[in-house]
């Protein structure tokens, strides 16, 4: 048997960050934001080759990744039964025999993410677990429904029991450089969330350039976003390392200027355990250890957990098992 990880539990931090109240829109700051695409792409390309963790260290990092997953189902054929199974997996994301072999307890995913209609069955299945429910909102994934309905959808999801709301921005505001409109929209969404935390989905694959990604990230944070998120998972291009580098550096700049820490959520296309390690190392290098906690970092994923569990079993037994032994729900 391999050496056991030294980290015995994985829990949410005792003290969460203060909410991001936002600030006045600073168009001069927005205009100064640029993105050196070639330099960003070189940095991103080098990261997977430069950072590698092995054996018990890898197992510990993979357990950390589990605690930062928003375990997600956003399918048109979702049912209460499917959501209940997903919630059971969120409460016990790694098989008990693997956890026992690792000497680890207290592992859950960071949240469960569902459509509005699935909030009630998720709340029932997660009762007493402390696992938050995230609901996608505002006409997800395109964000093209009437504005008053998008705001009302947020309010209804909060009322139904969601403590986190993943909203989608209007991409046209970014593509036309209408930063005031994007700011006003995000402020309205933030207000509708009340005490629920709001994650702003930028749909970066549809924004045209890394500079647009950087500026949209900044405007959403100015307007009060608690998290910024790459993608809906429905675009042709979702989370990538260059986009992530741009967004987390915007987070770093905002924290330097305001003292407020904003969370980051890459979503879509992250399905392999090795990819989660790359993202975690990027966060550690660019933002520091404080962001390696689920109140400031999440993976938006469904299949990622299965591959992580499979890798953990390999660490314990020395053999790979079939993927069907690690079903998500």
DSSP states along 169-219: --HHHHHTT-HHHHHHHHHHHHHHHTTSEEEEE--GGGSSSHHHHHHHHHH
Catalytic residue numbers, as ranges: 166, 229, 265
Instruction: Please give the order of strands across the beta sheet that includes 299-301.
Output: 263-265, 227-229, 197-201, 164-168, 133-136, 111-114, 69-72, 299-301
Q: Are 208 and 249 in contact (CB under 8 A)?
A: no
Angle value at C-alpha 55, between 269 and 92, nearest 5 degrees: 55
Q: Are 226 and 263 in contact (CB under 8 A)?
A: yes
Q: How far apart are CA 150 and CA 309, in angstroms?
A: 37
């Amino acid at each position: 048997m391999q050496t056991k990880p030294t980290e015995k539990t994985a829990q949410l931090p005792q003290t969460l960050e203060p909410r991001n109240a936002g600030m006045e829109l600073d168009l001069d700051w927005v205009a100064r934001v640029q993105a050196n695409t070639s330099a960003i792409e070189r940095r991103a390309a080098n990261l997977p080759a430069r950072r590698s963790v092995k054996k018990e260290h890898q197992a510990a990092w993979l357990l950390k990744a589990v605690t930062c997953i928003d375990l997600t189902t956003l399918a048109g054929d979702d049912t209460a039964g499917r959501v209940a199974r997903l919630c059971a997996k969120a409460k016990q994301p790694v098989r008990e025999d693997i956890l026992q072999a690792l000497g680890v307890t207290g592992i859950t995913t960071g949240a469960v993410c569902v459509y509005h209609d699935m909030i009630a069955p998720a709340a029932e299945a997660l009762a007493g677990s402390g696992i938050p429910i995230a609901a996608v909102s505002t006409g997800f994934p395109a964000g093209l429904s009437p504005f008053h309905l998008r705001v009302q959808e947020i309010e209804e999801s909060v009322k139904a029991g969601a403590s986190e709301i993943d909203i989608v921005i209007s991409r046209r505001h970014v593509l036309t450089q209408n930063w005031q409109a994007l700011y006003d929209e995000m402020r309205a969404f933030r207000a509708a969330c009340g005490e629920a935390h709001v994650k702003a989905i930028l749909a970066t694959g549809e924004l045209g350039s890394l500079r647009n990604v950087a500026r949209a990230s900044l405007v959403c944070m100015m307007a009060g976003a608690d998290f910024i998120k790459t993608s809906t998972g429905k675009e042709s291009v979702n989370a990538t390392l260059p986009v992530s580098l741009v967004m987390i550096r915007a987070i770093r700049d905002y924290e330097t200027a305001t003292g407020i820490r904003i969370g980051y959520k890459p979503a879509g296309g992250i399905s392999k355990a090795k990819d989660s390690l790359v993202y975690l190392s990027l966060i550690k290098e660019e933002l520091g250890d404080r962001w390696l906690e689920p109140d400031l970092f999440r993976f938006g994923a469904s299949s990622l957990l299965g591959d992580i569990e499979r890798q953990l079993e390999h660490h314990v037994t020395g053999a790979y098992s079939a993927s069907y032994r690690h079903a998500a729900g």
